[in-house]
Structure 1
Amino acid sequence: MTVAPPARTLRRQDPQLADILLGELTRQSTGLQLIAAENFTSPAVLEALGSPLANKYAEGYPAARHHGGCEIVDAAERLAVDRAKTLFGAEHANVQPHSGSSAVLAAYAALLRPGDTVLAMGLPFGGHLTHGSPANFSGRWFDFVGYGVDADSGLIDYAQVRALAHAHRPKAIVCGSISYPRHLDYAAFRAVADEVGAHLIADAAHPIGLVAGGAAPSPVPYADVVCATTHKVLRGPRGGMLLCGADLAERIDRAVFPFTQAGAQMNAIAAKAVAFGEAATPAFADYAHQVVVNARALAAALAAEGLTVTTGGTDTHLLTVDPAPLGVDARTARGRLAAAGLVLDTCALPYGDARGLRLGTAAVTTQGMGEAEMGRIGRLFGAALTENGLAGEGAESRRVRDAVVELTGRYPPYPPQPAP
């Protein structure tokens, strides 16, 4: 993959911003991007984002817009919708949501009314803000009940899910998480939803790219509505989408427009179409499976360095680990790792107030790294976290930083363009 630095026009017109963009490209290219929700898009996706479609106002849907001159953007949206339906085996797709949270909001708007009870993974166990946080619209508008995970295994307690569903009779059950590293049993959630007459909403923002590549089970046959992002493992532009059956198509579409958002971002929709096309290829399937292989290899490497891996491993692109056995808390660990060029997040750990580290292998796999590199990254973790002193000040941290630069130099996210 190749990507150009800031174009000559921007460099000439606004050199200050051009320097900022170049700085971000340098940051991405010289550090290990291990945030589970991030990835590198293809140059084709970036081209679509920067296309003239960014100029077009297009409220509504193809052939039913509130603005004239939408013939071309209609074709782009139809292409994105058709590719999404084919890729995921869905009867209907809405590709307009601006984000994963926008998609979840639309799903709630289509199926619920303020005050309804919703059963979702509790925030301390990996639930998303849209799964009932009091700081979010979801926690303010709906009555959320949280399910958790088994204290010993860290796995979802499906017996608890069933008991809570029967006790609270929710209008909807949400299955999905921002930090659960195992596959979800969608059939089990479907069975519980049917027992209590609830809608099943799958928040598949994290695994949807693995689903596209055949490396994770699909929620589409089980959920009434699937909410997802188009970035992360799917490797598209930042944005959201919704998948559902034909019976809910009109309700979902109206919940997106006009209820929760107005003008569609047509350049982003075109970029989604590009990403869906890329995800339908054998090369992407190979990539998705390698993401999981790499995540498991990285989990083993981190365990060998003394970190505790929750659930004992991973089925997906992400893993969560506790650095406490190395004598360091998560916030300090994140700072030391960032200073050494290893970029990741912290997350809540089940049961207790402790926080851990959440990381993923989608971006480094896009760069072409494999199991051997995951082993090396694990050793770099250990070296960065066992150094005494402040983040970035010791000789070991500098050694790790140099090793990271060397590694990313061999596996650049966007190799330099050949000379004309």
Structure 2
Amino acid sequence: MRVPGGIVQPPAPHAGERADADGRAPESAAAHGLEPLRAGDPELYGLVAREHRRQNATLAMDDASGVAGAAVLACGGSPLANTPAGCGVAGAVERIAVLRARLAFAARYASVRPASGSAARELVLSILLRPGDVVLAPEADGFPSSPPGTVTVACGAGADGRIDGEAVRRLALEHRPRVIVCGASAHPRATDFAAFRRIADEAGAFLLADISPVAALVAAGEHPSPIDHAHFTITRTRGQLPGPRGGLVLMGRDHDAPAPVGEGTLSGAIERTASLASPEGPDLAAIAAAASMLAAAASAGFHEAARRATAGARALAAGLASRGWALVTGGTDTHLVAVDLSARGLAGAVAERALEECGMRVSRCRVPGDGRSPAAASGVRLGTHGLALRGMGPAEMARCAELVDMVLAAVRPVDDDAYELCPAVAAMARDEVAALCARFPIPGWSADWPPEVVSIAPPRATAPVDPFSLPAGDAA
């Protein structure tokens, strides 16, 4: 049912349904699930505990650094994981997620069924492409191999690292692609979606915008939105967005445009194909987790974090540039900063590992004119949004620039894969990182959880405790 304001209200319990005696069934299922794991399977519990502490003690400065909060994790581990399609509150959960996705991105249509960002992209391409069609996609995006019988033409950035709109237009008019994809994971500048739409219209192509690298900024109004420029907008729900593994397909003014094949509309074609792609039904626990994240994305606190992220990225870029590090495009419009390491003789893979050794996680990336393989690369990209969600702002990002410089300046590369790092510098950096993380813990996470960390031992001869065993006297 609907209530004033258009919010979907879950249906009342059916006859025969009941909560636990104290009315707290979700808590008994999700919040206390770790206790039987600790008691019955200490090896696995120890790994979960170790990862919890690693995340809390790491400066996640990669481009996909959003951390799912406690409410999102609770939804993912809730009884919804057991709910078959069409049963119980399944329809209400999906409707809530769809409504929140539309509100968060000002979209007229949303599908929350894709299991990942790549699944969302495949869903869109499946209704558009036919054998012999051409896709024009960013070279830096690592665009996957074309669907069978189609061809992908790469459109890269210019020598300065910026998207060359005129070069994209020339390629589009030359190859007449069926689909143009815009959005690049390593690009630190805002994308001109309106310009891409003009090119797509001139070439007779559909425009697909992948906003996964900047989805949180788009939702918060800190980056231009493609919703009414692109025919289709896709994003993953984890990474820059602090949600579960999943994907979204969003549409604006083109949602009711005619479908390319058969009858109906573009949004109708997505809806039908999404249903056929998952005949067993969607993952309701993941969709609920995404709905929880999307509600948070509409909050004032989330929008403030996005503003801190862009301001922090500018401070991070300025701090690195002042220490002589070359920045791709010379700066940033987003939460991303891309650093060209070529002049320092460092491979991106070496820089990534050295920084991770000191508690800072970044991502290697290719840079304009890169002579190294994608596995080694000649650059790294750093993102500030995950740290902004922890409350860090420009002052902390300026300090992070000092830490990055301190570590990378002390690295002596052996080759594109191996390096030596001064132990004293590494220890000093780890101490600084630990202090910064302690000042800004992940919101909603307890820094001292779990109270007991089980050591990781070799596999035991005995199996973990059987969670389905009945207490003595309960057997039939």
Q: Normalized against structure 2, the TM-score is what? A: 0.79
**Of residues 41, 52, 63 in structure 2, which corresponds to 1:36?**
63
Structure 1, gaps ≥5 residues long: 59-67, 131-135
CA offset digits 1:306-352 (Å, max 9, x no partner): 21110011111212102234443222212211111111110111223
**Of residues 332, 335, 351 in structure 1, which corresponds to 2:369?**
351
Q: Which residue of 2 aligns with 1:15?
A: 42
Once the 2 structures are TM-superposed, how far is the Cα of residue 5 of structure 1 from its aligned partner? 10
Once residues 373 and 142 of structure 1 are traced to their aligned partners in structure 2, the CA distance between those partners, rounded to angstroms, is: 47
Q: Which residue of 2 aligns with 1:117?
A: 134
**Of residues 368, 393, 400 in structure 2, which corresponds to 1:370?**
393
Q: RMSD over aligned Cα, in angstroms?
A: 2.1
| Contact in 2 for aligned 1:326/1:385 (Cα 8 Å) | no
| Contact in 2 for aligned 1:320/1:356 (Cα 8 Å) | yes
Once residues 230 and 206 of structure 1 are traced to their aligned partners in structure 2, the CA distance between those partners, rounded to angstroms, is: 11
Change in CA separation of 1:260 and 1:146 when aligned onto 2, cut-off 3 Å: farther
Q: Which residue of 1 aligns with 2:217?
A: 210
| Contact in 1 for aligned 2:113/2:287 (Cα 8 Å) | yes
**Of residues 226, 249, 253 in structure 1, which corresponds to 2:267?**
249
**Of residues 146, 150, 159 in structure 2, which corresponds to 1:142?**
150
CA offset digits 1:68-90 (Å, max 9, x no partner): 52x40110100010111122121
**Of residues 289, 292, 297 in structure 1, which corresponds to 2:310?**
292
Query: What is the one-letter code of the residue matched to 2:431?
Result: D
Once residues 192 and 162 of structure 1 are traced to their aligned partners in structure 2, the CA distance between those partners, rounded to angstroms, is: 6
**Of residues 65, 83, 87 in structure 1, which corresponds to 2:104?**
87
Q: Which residue of 2 aligns with 1:264?
A: 282
Segments ≥4 residues shifted beyond 4 Å: 3-6, 388-393
Once the 2 structures are TM-superposed, how far is the Cα of residue 388 of structure 1 from its aligned partner? 4.9
Structure 2 SS opposite 1:232: coil
1:6-405 alignment to 2 at 5 Å? 7-58=34-85, 68-69=86-87, 71-122=88-139, 126-130=140-144, 136=145, 138=146, 141-151=149-159, 153-244=160-251, 245-246=255-256, 247-259=265-277, 262-354=280-372, 355-388=378-411, 390-391=419-420, 394-405=423-434
1:411 equivalent to 2:440? Answer: yes
Query: What is the one-letter code of the residue matched to 2:129?
Result: L
Query: What is the one-letter code of the residue matched to 1:280?
Result: A
Change in CA separation of 1:388 and 1:13 when aligned onto 2, cut-off 3 Å: same
Structure 2, gaps ≥5 residues long: 1-29, 257-264, 373-377, 413-418, 450-476
Moved more, 247-256 or 192-201: 247-256
Change in CA separation of 1:141 and 1:318 when aligned onto 2, cut-off 3 Å: farther
Structure 1 or 2, whichever has the larger Rg, is 2
Once the 2 structures are TM-superposed, how far is the Cα of residue 392 of structure 1 from its aligned partner? 5.1
Query: What is the one-letter code of the residue matched to 1:89?
Result: A
Percent identity, aligned pairs only, is 39
| Contact in 2 for aligned 1:387/1:394 (Cα 8 Å) | no
Once residues 394 and 411 of structure 2 are traced to their aligned partners in structure 1, the CA distance between those partners, rounded to angstroms, is: 29
Structure 2 SS opposite 1:319: strand
Change in CA separation of 1:335 and 1:234 when aligned onto 2, cut-off 3 Å: closer
Change in CA separation of 1:350 and 1:128 when aligned onto 2, cut-off 3 Å: same
Once the 2 structures are TM-superposed, how far is the Cα of residue 161 of structure 1 from its aligned partner? 0.9
Once residues 293 and 57 of structure 2 are traced to their aligned partners in structure 1, the CA distance between those partners, rounded to angstroms, is: 25
| Contact in 1 for aligned 2:161/2:367 (Cα 8 Å) | no
Structure 1 SS opposite 2:249: strand
Once the 2 structures are TM-superposed, how far is the Cα of residue 257 of structure 1 from its aligned partner? 2.6
Query: What is the one-letter code of the residue matched to 1:407?
Result: L
Change in CA separation of 1:259 and 1:6 when aligned onto 2, cut-off 3 Å: closer
